[in-house]
Structure 1
Amino acid sequence: MSESKVLFVDSNQENHFPQIFPQLPIIKNDRAIWTGISLEYHRQPPFETPEYAIGSYQIGINIGQSFQMERKIDGKWETKQVFPGALGLCPFNLPHELRWHDEMNLLSLNLDREFIVRSALELFNTEQVELLCPMAFQDPLIQQIGLALKAEAQSDGGGSRLYAETMANALAVHLLRHYSTTQGERKINGKWAMCPHKLRWVQDYINDYLERQFSVDELAAIAQLSPYHFSRAFKQSVGISPHQYVIQQRVERAKQLLLQGNMSLSEIAIACGFSHQSHLNRHFKRLTGVTPKTLLKS
């Protein structure tokens, strides 16, 4: 897809469907009846969405045939076979694209951000929590809650508000316990550290784009963690902060380029993400004990 402006979608708006999908949902509950959660049932032809971010947590449940789904987050495409009953969590306010090549029958549950935060406050006594965004996974409880809510939405009068909110509360607690930011971390010596595969994602991303300037928010999104949890977990895993790690990797890359002898110091500085040559010299000497020129002479 050609580069375009990210489409920020408010799922509370009635007209947000044509912005993302080619066809309107077959079933859509009345948001005035249920609080904190809404439901849609989509039957969509093969399609590729624009890059968009949506202001709610969305859970997609495949209630049709198997199909292949591709999702792009932070410039990387992920491809999964979505079997009947498989689920996917849509990232909150994180730009992404989707494309699929067969008809998609999808039940979508939309949870308001405020609803999740309130549940986290009651469950963990903190508002600093984010949900992860796995793709094509199995969870029988979420599937059962989704189908129960679909049946309730199709009942006379649009379904009981009390019933829907009871299901929504059970769903929020389940998500927070099994798919929240704490699931992206593990304890080492009593402290939370990042899971190895998430740490590898971040390190690979840094090394692939070392010439760029990174933000904590950007790296946290790669790890599917909140910025607060990411910084804490990264330092516990690696021993240094994300900023210090990036500087360390830039110096290592500069050392490799210096020994190859094909670039000037100023060119190496820019290629490694330093703002100028003196910036490279300062960090190089601090971490290696010698200046770049001294290394070359030795």
Structure 2
Amino acid sequence: MLQAPQNEVSRELQSRGVELQQHVSFGKGLEAAVWRNPGMAPDQVPVYDRPGHHTLSLYLEGGYKVRRLDDTKAGESAPGKLCLLPANHQSRWFVGDSLRMFHLYITPDYLNYLAQSTLDLDPRQLELKDETFKDSPFTESVVNSVFLSMDWQGETDRMALGNAAQLLIFDLLKNHSDRARNLTVRGGLSPRDQRLLKDFIEAHLDQPLTLDDLADQIGLSPYHLARMFKLSFGIPPHKFVMAQRLERAEDLLRHSGMGLAEIALECGFSSQSHFSNSFKAAKGLTPRAFRTL
């Protein structure tokens, strides 16, 4: 059974019988969820009353008859539309048909930390916009290509999901706040930091690894780490970690008598089937077939 997000918007949805389909917590004030709302009677109006967190919502399916009752200027709802609900906002909603929606929940403390560490913004001067039914091709692309294509419960996918969440937040800071500013990250990681990260990854391949884990090693924000890592290594952190897992697995297949399940565990895969599928996708052969070469 999925553990529900512990925040005001989620509790309001649950109290109205909305189904939680997926949930992942990245820690440090950041969570994502997918909900399916079957539609509600006119007297069942969801009310968000000054929640203590920010909510980014993207409609995935349906929702053509959703209306924000407290905002007469809001546009038309439809799949692909974004709603941004800042902390401490108030809103009331009519849900006249079924819809499926993606939510990203961000605490103010975490948003302020990212604003200061990536944009050099004074958090006291930062304010997210209250937006309803807006077009956001970037958000729609990230959610569809990353969040909806990965296993939220698989430890090896969590780093890619965390990276995608960082990108969504950075886009909010740049394009959906009253203190928007462009940021260009120049250069990459120092040779020392590259060695530290490679050694840390190598020493912890049998464990789940997150962007926060890597960022903590060299004192960067997760967003900066992801950007500078790609500049230095040519690929995002999650792809680098996967390549290292596969390289170790290949070595064990060649030079050890360990079983496939044991190798999967040793290399940090969530299961033997996940190991086999990932290995075949990268090498063109299943681990069992590779071992017989």
Cα contact 2:116–2:122 (8 A) shared by 1:
yes
Contiguous gaps of at least 5 residues in structure 2: 181-293
Displacement, 1:28?
1.7
SS of aligned partner of 2:179: helix
> In the alignment, does 2:46 pair up with 1:53?
no
Residue of 122, 134, 157 corresponding to 1:137: 134
Paired position in structure 1 for 2:21: 26
Paired position in structure 1 for 2:147: 149
Letter in 1 for 2:57: G
Cα pair distance change 1:14/1:60, threshold 3 Å: closer
> In the alignment, does 2:163 pair up with 1:172?
no
CA RMSD of aligned residues (A): 2.7
Paired position in structure 1 for 2:108: 113
* CA offsets 1:214-248 (integer angstroms, 9 cap, x no match): xxxxxxxxxxxxxxxxxxxxxxxxxxxxxxxxxxx
Displacement, 1:142?
1.0
> In the alignment, does 2:61 pair up with 1:64?
yes
Paired position in structure 2 for 1:218: none
Paired position in structure 1 for 2:34: 41
Cα contact 1:58–1:110 (8 A) shared by 2:
yes
Paired position in structure 2 for 1:102: 97
Larger Rg: 1
> In the alignment, does 2:81 pair up with 1:86?
yes
Cα contact 2:75–2:132 (8 A) shared by 1:
yes
Cα pair distance change 1:118/1:81, threshold 3 Å: same
* Rounded Cα–Cα distance in structure 2 between residues aligned with 1:93 and 1:67: 26
Paired position in structure 2 for 1:126: 122
* CA offsets 1:181-232 (integer angstroms, 9 cap, x no match): 136xxxxxxxxxxxxxxxxxxxxxxxxxxxxxxxxxxxxxxxxxxxxxxxxx
SS of aligned partner of 1:181: coil
Displacement, 1:51?
4.7
Cα contact 1:71–1:78 (8 A) shared by 2:
no
Displacement, 1:80?
3.1
Counterparts of 1:276-295 in structure 2, within 5 Å, are none
Paired position in structure 1 for 2:185: none
Cα contact 2:67–2:77 (8 A) shared by 1:
no
Cα contact 2:21–2:34 (8 A) shared by 1:
yes
> In the alignment, does 2:184 pair up with 1:182?
no
Counterparts of 1:192-211 in structure 2, within 5 Å, are none
Paired position in structure 1 for 2:254: none
Counterparts of 1:206-285 in structure 2, within 5 Å, are none
Letter in 2 for 1:101: G
* CA offsets 1:68-105 (integer angstroms, 9 cap, x no match): 322244xx544532122111111311121111211111
SS of aligned partner of 2:62: coil
Q: Which moved further from structure 2: 110-119 or 33-42?
A: 33-42
Letter in 1 for 2:37: Q
Cα pair distance change 1:158/1:15, threshold 3 Å: farther
* Rounded Cα–Cα distance in structure 1 between residues aligned with 2:13 and 2:60: 22
Displacement, 1:11?
4.2
Cα pair distance change 1:156/1:110, threshold 3 Å: closer
* Rounded Cα–Cα distance in structure 2 between residues aligned with 1:60 and 1:160: 22
What is the TM-score when the length of structure 1 is the normalising length? 0.50
* Rounded Cα–Cα distance in structure 2 between residues aligned with 1:68 and 1:168: 28
SS of aligned partner of 1:132: coil
* CA offsets 1:232-287 (integer angstroms, 9 cap, x no match): xxxxxxxxxxxxxxxxxxxxxxxxxxxxxxxxxxxxxxxxxxxxxxxxxxxxxxxx
* Rounded Cα–Cα distance in structure 2 between residues aligned with 1:86 and 1:51: 19
Percent same amino acid among aligned pairs? 17
Cα pair distance change 1:20/1:93, threshold 3 Å: farther
* Rounded Cα–Cα distance in structure 1 between residues aligned with 2:173 and 2:10: 29
What is the TM-score when the length of structure 2 is the normalising length? 0.51
Paired position in structure 2 for 1:193: none
SS of aligned partner of 1:182: coil
Displacement, 1:150?
3.5
* Rounded Cα–Cα distance in structure 2 between residues aligned with 1:60 and 1:13: 14
Cα pair distance change 1:77/1:182, threshold 3 Å: same
